[in-house]
Structure formats: C-alpha cells, structure tokens
Homo-oligomer: A and B are copies of this chain.
C-alpha cells in the first residue's frame, strides 16, 4: 500500500482508522496535523488526537505548507498520516492561498510518494445546499479536492459508524 484516502463524516472514526492502518506497517510514524490552534475548542481537539495516537508518532503541524511537510517527512521507511485535508483546505481559503495550486502540488506529490501516506478528509457535501456563498464554495472545493486526491490514491475508504467501506479497492 502506497497511498490511502479515508473519507467520512464528523466522528465517523477516520483518524482511528488511519492509525489502525499505519499500525499494520513496519515503519517509523509521522503525523502531520493540519489544524491551526485558532481557539480553545480546536486546541482541545488537537490534544485529544495527540493523546489518542500515543508517543510512537512524531507530530508535525502544517496548517498551510502541507506539501512541504510531506516532502520532508515521507520516505520508504516511514508512514505518514495527514489529518486532515478539510482543515487544510479551510486554512488555505481563510488565508486566501491558491487552492488549485496547492491541490495540484499535493496530487503531484502523491503520484510519486516515496513511502506510504494515509490521508484523512471529510465528506461535507450530503447536507442541504448551504445558504451562504462561502459555505457553497467550501463545499465545492472540498468535493473537488477529495475527487482529485482519490483519483491518484491506490485505496479509498468511506467511514460509516467507525467501519470502513471500500470505495476504491487496494
């Protein structure tokens, strides 16, 4: 397994699934957290995730420069988890970065990743149409990012109630 995308709703077990998959690999472990410590709620979530995954993971925080972090961290003897693309996308849009360019760079990296990478992302498109323009723009961008990443990943899973459903079989 080289590259895996885990998609799902909030609290559907995506992060735990990523840790489980990483645990099957005989490799050093790096966790790239894309969350920004923007408020107390988010900081608490970051710390809960850090506790959950234990000390065997080196943690890198990359709210914006995900691809650079991946280039540094990824290697044949290391499994890298990216958690998650949704927060990364939110940060890119919040700080008005070029989403298409960052997305293309991520896709290019994944096509030739030197070691296993497991990416976590949210499905955000199956509620009602958001009333706010920004909500619709984010929803569209997230759907397009998920499609672009899924297209180049070797395996895609969709999480429901903690269990993976196979979307793109390895």
Q: A residues near B, CB below 8 A?
A: 5, 7-13, 41, 121-130, 133, 135-136, 138-140, 142-144, 146-147, 149-151, 156, 158, 160-163, 165, 167-168
Nearest B residue to A134 via CB reads B128
Taking a contact as CB atoms closer than 8 A, the residue among B11, B150, B165 that contacts A142 in the complex is B11
Q: What are 15 residue pairs bridging A and B, where the CB atoms are less than 8 Å apart in the complex?
A: A8-B126, A9-B126, A10-B136, A11-B139, A11-B142, A41-B133, A121-B161, A122-B126, A124-B127, A125-B126, A126-B126, A127-B128, A149-B161, A150-B160, A150-B161
In the complex, are the beta carbons of A135 and B125 less than 8 A apart? no
Copies of chain A in the complex: 3
Give the chain B neighbours of A149 by CB distance below 8 A: 161
Nearest CB in chain B: distance from A148 CB, A:
8
